Amino acid sequence: MKTTAVRLHGENDLRLETFELPEVGPEEVLLKVGSDSLCASTYKAVKQGTAHKRVPPDIAEKPIIIGHEMAGEIVKVGSALTDKWKVGDRIVIQPALKLPSGYDPGYSYQYIGGSATYAVVPSIVLERGCMIKYRGENFYGGSLVESLGCIIRGFKGFYHTDYETYTRTDGAKKGGKLAILAGAGPMGLGAVELAKGYAGCGQVVVTDINAERLAWAAAHCTVEDAKAAGMDLRYIDTSGMEDPVAELKAISDGGFDDVFVMAPVPALFTMAEQICREDGCVNFFAGPAIHDMQGSLNLYRIHYDGIHVVGTAGSIPEDTVDILNLIDEHRINPGVLVSHILGLKAVPEGIFGMARPSGAKKVCYPSVDIPMVAVSDFAELGKTDPLYRKLDELCSAHGGMWCTEAEEYLLANGPKLPEA
């Protein structure tokens, strides 16, 4: 079986290539990739090459397939696995194998990654319980499970303490107040969805310094939908505020129970502590690229007000299952995160374009041959192209968001990537 894939050969060296996959072993499966969403973590790996902790040192001789947010369909099952897995099963890959080596699918392996038409899922992924059955009605939801899994792990990382009994309660405070600083990007939007559909927050305040990003976020995770779910959702542009800490504390009646910091900016970390109420918890969620980034906190508040500080990264299979259940129960909508779609040929452009962040999640469909296109551009493109005219019609019926019907139409009618 041949595959076409985007492979990393070295620092900043991405190549679209067609090559032969090895025969599937008795404890492996062959996967047809349905979709894969692009992630800033991949951009970091591409920029760093072998200096990245998940990228092996020999990629010049053994290039790896990029893409770790993949969903697909099994097309061949190894002889030792036929009692559990069947041809036609849809699956998602949980890429954090938690191996001592630090190696994971989409960063470290020659034959598995989401930026490919076909991939071989190695036995180690199954042994670690990281290939999970997916009952979803679309592929893109499966591709976004990994991102959402990281966020739900963030919610689980919050904790609070009863200082009379020193009893600890894990998770964001039920019915409490949550701030999401620098939250108008894809992970912030995912946090809004989970605050509403999972954590049961009473108030959520999303801050950013870019009015365009905030408007896009507000159009996808709406104040009205949040209100219908019993949550007070507000989007706040702090760029023009003389004293954003004072204004945010006023909005929250004295401070927040929980705070996500969604950008690796020391000043935001400091602000997060300042806007916490007593027993508040800060999750420094953003991953800095700088290994010695310093930030300051008021240590008096850490001691006397019981402010907690945590940092979470990645997820585990339990989180993947939880997200899949939330999607199945329609308690969260992964479509709110999708800003662009693209085909496999456009992946290198999409990855290198992350040097100038724009939009939210970009979902790749490896079997189609289209450039990277913003969902918001469908209407304009549809004036001359019937494919985008129909996609605009389908997405408009869902509030302008990417949806199952649009995915199905694209896969059935979009231009196909030539078979290897």
How far is Cα 300 from Cα 75, in angstroms, rounded to an integer? 59
- Strands of 153-307 (E only): list them: 159-162, 167-170, 177-181, 203-208, 232-237, 256-261, 276-284
Query: What's residue 355's pLDDT?
Result: 86
Write down how long the chain is.
Answer: 420
How far is Cα 58 from Cα 101, in angstroms, rounded to an integer? 14
Across 142-149, average pLDDT: 94
3-state helix, strand, coil in the chain (%, to 5): 35, 25, 40
Phi and psi angles of residue 416, each rounded to the nearest 5 degrees, phi first: -90, 145
Report the chain's mean pLDDT, rounded to a whole number.
95
Across 91-96, average pLDDT: 94
Each residue of 28-40: pLDDT tens digit?
999 999 999 999 8
Each residue of 265-295: pLDDT tens digit?
999 999 999 999 999 999 999 988 778 899 9
Note whether 90 and 137 are within 8 A (CB): no
Note whether 334 and 311 are within 8 A (CB): no
pLDDT confidence tier of residue 199, bands split at 50, 70 and 90: very high
pLDDT confidence tier of residue 420, bands split at 50, 70 and 90: low
| Distances in whole angstroms, Cα of residue 20 to Cα of each of 105, 139, 363, 376 | 18, 25, 25, 37
Each residue of 94-112: pLDDT tens digit?
999 989 999 999 999 999 9
Which helix (DSSP H) or strand (DSSP E) does residue 151 occupy?
A: helix 145-157
Q: Which of 51-55, 114-118, 162-166 has the highest mean pLDDT?
A: 114-118
How far is Cα 273 from Cα 259, in angstroms, rounded to an integer? 8
| Distances in whole angstroms, Cα of residue 78 to Cα of each of 11, 82, 106, 258 | 34, 7, 21, 46
How far is Cα 331 from Cα 195, in angstroms, rounded to an integer? 11
User: Residues 25, 28, 29, 33: what is their CA dihedral angle, to the nearest 10 degrees?
Assistant: -120
User: Residues 159, 293, 287, 262: what is their CA dihedral angle, to the nearest 10 degrees?
Assistant: 70
* Percentage of residues of the chain with pLDDT beyond 90: 92
**How do strand 361-365 and strand 338-343 relate by DSSP bridges?**
parallel
**How do strand 64-65 and strand 13-20 relate by DSSP bridges?**
unpaired
Q: Is the pLDDT of residue 164 over 70?
A: yes
DSSP per-residue string spanning 50-84: GGSTTS-TTTTTS-EE----EEEEEEEE-TTSTTT
Report long-range pairs for 320-326 (Cβ below 8 Å, ≥24 apart): 320/92, 320/94, 320/132, 320/145, 320/146, 320/149, 321/132, 322/149, 322/152, 322/198, 323/145, 323/148, 323/149, 323/152, 324/92, 324/132, 324/134, 324/135, 324/136, 324/145, 326/148, 326/194, 326/197, 326/198
How far is Cα 392 from Cα 371, in angstroms, rounded to an integer? 16
The answer to which of 139-143, 206-210, 291-295 has the lowest mean pLDDT is: 291-295
The sign of the torsion formed by the CA atoms of 145, 150, 151, 152 equals positive
Q: Is the pLDDT of residue 411 over 90?
A: yes
How far is Cα 190 from Cα 337, in angstroms, rounded to an integer? 7
pTM (2 d.p.)? 0.91
pLDDT confidence tier of residue 250, bands split at 50, 70 and 90: very high
Going by C-alpha positions, the residue among 8, 21, 17, 16 that lies closest to residue 75 is: 21
Going by C-alpha positions, the residue among 136, 29, 126, 20 that lies closest to residue 74 is: 29
Going by C-alpha positions, the residue among 335, 416, 312, 311 that lies closest to residue 368 is: 416
How far is Cα 101 from Cα 316, in angstroms, rounded to an integer? 17
